[in-house]
Chain A
Amino acid sequence: MSEHNLDARRMLCPMPVIKTQNKVNELAVGDILHVVCTDPGVLSDIPAWARINGHEVISHQENEDEITITVRVGS
């Protein structure tokens, strides 16, 4: 298992979702990806994308301007 980061700041949905998807496609099952975003739309879109495609959002943190979503890669 390895941990990775993705910077999706200033991108508007669905770009953060696309970048997350493309990154996850390169990772192995069980890997962890932290995605940093600024569009609040990711709070619904990344979890929806994860549910559909068999991945898991294990946490999300919001501070004033940034949102970090952590995804565990599924099969």
Chain B
Amino acid sequence: MAKQHKAVALISGGLDSLLAVRVLQEQGIEVEGINFYTGFCVEGHTHAIRNHDKEKKKRNNALWAAEQLGIKLHIVDVIEEYKDVLLNPKHGYGANMNPCLDCKVFMVSKAVEWVKENHKDGFDFIITGEVIGQRPMSQRKQTMPIIAKESGADDILLRPLCAKNLPATKPELEGWVDREKLYDFSGRNRKPQMALAKEFGFTDYASPAGGCCFLTDKNYSAKLVDLWKGRGSREYEMDDIMLLKVGRHLRPKPEFKLIIARDAGESKFLQGYRKQFITIQSLSHNGPLTLVDGDINSTDFELVAGIVARYGQGRDAQQVEVEVSVPNEQAQTFQIKPLTTEEVLEEWHV
């Protein structure tokens, strides 16, 4: 009996990877999915944190896609390794802090490793949902061979949705996959994908506007750059990545910033950081829990207490009682007049 060739698919949770897998399944190819978690992925987090999102259905799109396809999904934590991709991208950044081309190379190279490890179980090629011309940075005709080459995947990387626009790969040349039944999509027009989704009966699929991660988001990128600037170093930890997604960020002095919860859900989430950060909270009125990130001098406690009071229900009061707690120290309280809207300077907002 002919050997059954299996593929591993990079699953982002978006429509393209969903279609790419189904196209191969239609040819009888067995596929398993792999999803890389860089820490910046759009999945879940803010849903879990913010109040008003509570009603929205929470789902992890990669898991959802795998379930639709009936395939196994391996989620891989690449947080540590991804740091080097983000900090030193050989091909630079896209419109924001997104190093898309290096990111793709990295992910495909991780998939190459996975294929090597699982070759004994019949895995011998990789598929992605990439479409030529779809994304300005990573999905251009010139970048397709770069990804294949730099990742070490070479001719075992197949893009079923645009394969007909690219040279034939090993799975096609060896006849494991019928090239005629692959596609020639290109450009930003999503209509062909939508038509194919309809043909396959996919509805309710995710279609993230910018990309698969927060690094394509302008505000998020600005906060990340501000964090690095504030620290004088481009180091980051998982907690930093998370905290950039939470709250209102204000930097009244270069050495520290405030992370002010925007609702009860965020306040609750920030509670979990009380042991690591200086926290500020109004006692006399309801108000947001606030973390201080960076080095703050105790002479600035009154300033930050006044800022935090401005964001609570006591904003119009003459005086608000505000507590500043330094981990492992006695909390200090201040009777303070909240800052006015004008006194909270525009340039403080990150």
Contact = CB atoms under 8 A, between A and B. Distances in A.
A29 interface: no
Contact of A14 (B43, B66, B67): B43
Nearest to B77: A18
Contact of A15 (B47, B57, B71, B77): B77
B60 A52 contact: no
B215 to A, nearest CB: 17
Nearest to B66: A52
A24 B194 CA distance: 37
> Which has the most chain A C-beta neighbours within 10 Å: B59, B62, B64, B75?
B75
A13 B71 contact: no
B232 interface: no
Nearest to A40: B48
Task: Report, as a range, how many residues of chain B touch the other chain.
Answer: 20 to 34
Nearest to B39: A15
A41 B60 contact: yes
Contact of B44 (A10, A45, A51, A53): A45
B177 interface: no
Residue of B58, B64, B76 ringed by the most chain A CB atoms within 10 A: B58
A12 B45 contact: yes
Given A12-B242, A14-B75, A39 B66 contact: no
B175 interface: no
A51 B60 CA distance: 14
Interface in A26-71: 38-41, 44-45, 48-49, 51-54
B72 interface: yes
Contacts of B272: 10, 38
Contact of B63 (A12, A15, A39, A48): A48
Given A14-B44, A14-B75, A21-B74, A44 B67 contact: no
Nearest to B59: A44
A62 B272 CA distance: 18
Contact of B58 (A10, A17, A41): A41
A23 to B, nearest CB: 13
Contact of A52 (B47, B58, B63, B242): B63
Q: Name the 9 nearest CB pairs between A and B, nearest first.
A: A13-B44, A48-B63, A39-B48, A41-B48, A41-B44, A45-B60, A12-B45, A52-B66, A18-B77
10 contacts: A12-B48, A14-B63, A21-B74, A38-B272, A39-B48, A44-B57, A45-B58, A45-B63, A48-B60, A52-B67
